[in-house]
Chains A and B, each alone.
Chain A
Amino acid sequence: MANLHMVVCLKVVPKPEEIRVDKKTNRLERTDARSELNPPDMNAMEMALSIKERYGGKISILTMGPPYFEPLLRVGLAMGADHIYLLSDRDFGGADTLATTYTLAKGVEKIEGVDLIFCGEESSDGATGQVPPGLAEWLDFNQITMINNIELAPRKKTIRGRREIKAGHEILEVPLPAVVSVAVASNEPRFMDYRIKDWAFEEERMTVWSKDDLDVDAEYIGVSGSPTIVSDLAQAATRERKREFLTGTPEEIADKLKVILQDAL
């Protein structure tokens, strides 16, 4: 399938340990946190690259976010993708799952002719895994989530994905076009290829689309397209613990633990 067109959704996330909370606005303050490509998305990229190596075709990167994401996204080109589409507009901001999946779907429609979309299993800052099915629904694509292996039948235009479930597994088959999410750690993402680094940073390999470039309904994007609101932020409740340090030789500690365990169990 030389004309197979794949999209890999990449999310740029703040490093989780660097997110703070603005007590006045109740918003998560992500601007001071350094950004990185969402690590699970690297598994999605690797799976798409393996398909491209076997069957040909091209890979487009699709991202929603501000222009300063560019250098991180170009790493995806240096790994072997062909083009970047960045959906960037102030009005896209503040989007929850509904508005995010809508906007990404509009990006996919504008790219045109997309057969197969790869997403990471979840994002390290939100970790809900709800984007892949939502995106599939807006596009009326089929879906297989949390797969660790994919097989493409190029003539039949179907894919088979294998996923782990309940001490077992299942193999599902769906016709293209489809969205898949790729299980974390299902493969070993490659490093960027330094031989094509200069090529990857050439200007014309990236297209930026604002809301005016996409066929979007203003009611469906950003804050106005997001049903959910954060009504309050608080430190999560935790239980008071003794915090008693046990000291001594390993044998002495083991004897103390033995007593604690015998009392408790």
Chain B
Amino acid sequence: MVASLYGVKQAKKAIWIFLEQEGGKLEGVSLELLDKGRQMADNANWSLVGLLIGKDVSEIADEAFSYGADVVVLADDPLLDVFTVDAYTQVTYDAIMEHKPSVFLLGATPNGRDLAGRLAVRVRTGLNADCTNLNLDKKRGILVSEVTGFGGGIAALIEMQNHRPQMATVRPGVFPPGEPDKKRKGKVIKLPIKLEADTIKTKVVERVVGEGVDLTQVPALVVGGRGIEGDFGLMRELAGLIGGDVGATRPPVDDGYIERERQIGQTGVVCRPKVSINCGVSGAFHFVVGVQESDIVISINTDQEAPIFDFTDYCIVGDVFEIIPALTAALSSVKELAHG
């Protein structure tokens, strides 16, 4: 059997989190992983370590400590200013081989996936991607990753017995964010950087990033599916009235009607709003994963047999284009009264 570069015996009882940062702030998914990692580390009496890579990013370490990290391993270098898969994989590999953590978790973001895919091969270990839950079996020291989405709502529990680090990626929103404790302190370990500019083959020619949309924390979510035929105007109007935002299932995203970062579900974002309103959504399980943490689920579909109704509190068999305008009219009249 293929062996990883270090094994169970050499591995340290530590959970490592890849801390993804942009503009001096940690990504939401990194905070979520820190909180989940903290719980697992406490339960097993292991340590929680954040791997922070970038240029002039040392101040972010405090944020990582406040969310639960005991230690931050810091790789700070001008060559690490923007993410390139070559440089980040090399640095991460050096850090991993020096400290030999048993578990290494990354957010399933574009950069997190790029890094995870290369690193797992470089150290010859397994990688569980897009996990929907994680548990550390403290007796065996084994990470048990839950992966769903084989159709029909099947969840597989996946583990690796002999390979270290045990790697997994998790989509944004799968775990709730924790509460920061500003008084928490930790230790920074600086990683010696052995990079040279000419070994980085990737050239970032252009990079424009906006604020981005974070649907993981919205209080109300209005989701459009295939059934709304790309007409998101009504959805936006309703979302505006209830202080929420708009999401979509995969088909409208694939058809270019709405941005990919608004895709809800297994390969998109997992949300935990107070209310989600699904409009013209059939209810494929990989979508349901993205709204099942809602306190209340409302669904509108013309097909009484649509699977989405199995996952819904208030089911409406009807035409989205009749129900939603009636609802926005009803809500608008309330608003006018309130403003008197």
- Complex Cα distance, B63 from A88, in Å, reads 50
Pair B114/A145 contact, Cβ less than 8 Å:
yes
Q: How many A-B residue pairs have CB under 8 A?
A: 269
The answer on a CB contact under 8 Å between B311 and A241 is yes
Candidates A21, A136, A164; contact of B118 at CB < 8 Å: A136
Expressed in whole angstroms, the minimum distance between the Cβ of B284 and any Cβ of chain A is 8
Query: Residue A219 at the B interface, CB < 8 A?
Result: yes
Are A224 and B1 neighbours in the complex by a CB distance under 8 Å? Answer: yes
Question: Is B148's CB under 8 angstroms from A236's CB?
Answer: yes
Residues A133 and B113 in contact, CB atoms below 8 Å apart: yes
Q: How far is the CA of A182 from the CA of B27 in the complex (A)?
A: 25
A226-B126, A245-B317 known; A254 and B326 CB under 8 Å?
yes
Q: Is the CB of B114 within 8 A of A133?
A: yes
Contact string, A246-261, partner B, CB cutoff 8 A, digits 1/0? 1100110111111011
Residues of B within 8 A of A265 (CB): 219-220, 242-243, 274-275
Q: Would A127 and B329 be within 8 Å (CB), given that A168-B209, A174-B202 are in contact?
A: no
Binary per-residue interface labels of chain B (204-223) against chain A in the complex, 1 for a CB within 8 Å, 0 otherwise: 11111111110000011000
Q: Is A2 at the interface (CB under 8 A from chain B)?
A: no
Q: Is A254 touching B267 in the complex (CB atoms < 8 A)? A: no
A231 at the interface (CB under 8 A from B): yes
Give chain A interface residues in 89-111, CB to chain B under 8 Å: 96-99, 101-102
Please list the residues of chain B having a beta carbon within 8 angstroms of any beta carbon in chain A: 1-2, 4, 22, 85-86, 89, 110, 113-118, 120-122, 124-130, 132, 144, 146, 148-163, 169, 201-213, 219-220, 242-243, 253-256, 259-261, 266-267, 274-275, 285-286, 288-289, 292-293, 295-298, 309-319, 322-323, 325-327, 329-331, 334
Bound Cα distance A173, B85 (Å): 12
The answer to whether A170 and B204 touch across the interface, beta carbons within 8 angstroms, is: yes
Chain B contact surface mostly = mixed
Cβ 8 A contact of A143, one of B85, B256, B322: B85
B313, A242: Cβ atoms closer than 8 Å: yes
Contacts A165-B110, A264-B296: A172 and B202 contacting too (C-beta < 8 A)?
Answer: yes
Q: Which residues of B contact A134 (CB under 8 A)?
A: 117-118, 120-121
In A118-137, the 8 Å CB interface with B consists of 122, 125, 127-134, 136-137
Q: Is A137 a contact partner of B313 (Cβ separation < 8 A)?
A: no
Residues of A within 8 A of B157 (CB): 230-234
- Cβ B128 vs Cβ A228 within 8 A: yes
* A72 interfacial contact with B, CB 8 Å: no
Contact B155 A166 (CB under 8 A): no
